[in-house]
Amino acid sequence: MGGASRCIVRTWPPPTYLYRLAVGRGPDSATAYHCVSFGGIMIKEHDCVVLTSDLPSEGLLSGDVGTVVHIHGNVSAYEVEFATLTGKTIAVATVLPSQCRPIGHRDINHVREVQAA
């Protein structure tokens, strides 16, 4: 079988504009698919997640959305980057799995102004 094999990667939730906030996602990208299961939904590096609890030391509130940039070991924690809508990073925080969830089909963005440090 001299032909190249093709791997099809199915993602959930389906990629749309909101799910592609992180550049380079998709089955044809070089993104590493380091995944973690969350109630049947996989959290992968470069996925957007929603905080489910406040992180006061970082100035982050429940409901803030960030991008997973690293998954630690046996999913002991995630490194999540939080940025303004203009792309300025405001925090890179270590987040426990119990402190976040994947974004969902019925989630919408909500804007709040970050307090100056």
Per residue in 53-103, pLDDT (tens digit) is 999 999 999 999 999 999 998 888 999 999 999 999 999 999 999 999 999
Q: Phi and psi for 99 in degrees, rounded to 5?
A: -100, 5
Angle among Cα 85, 91, 92 to the nearest 5 degrees reads 115
Quickly tell me which residue has 């925080």 as its tokens: 93
Exposure string for 11-24, b = 16+ CB within 10 A, e = fewer: beeeeeeebebbee
User: What pTM, to 2 d.p., does this model score?
Assistant: 0.67
pLDDT of the residue at 73: 86
Pick the CATH number of 18-102 from 3.30.70, 1.10.3470, 2.30.30, 2.60.40: 2.30.30
Percentage of the chain exceeding pLDDT 90: 54
Quickly tell me which residue has 């504009």 as its tokens: 17
- Given a cut of 70, whether residue 37 has pLDDT beyond it is no
Domain spans of the chain, in order of start: 18-102
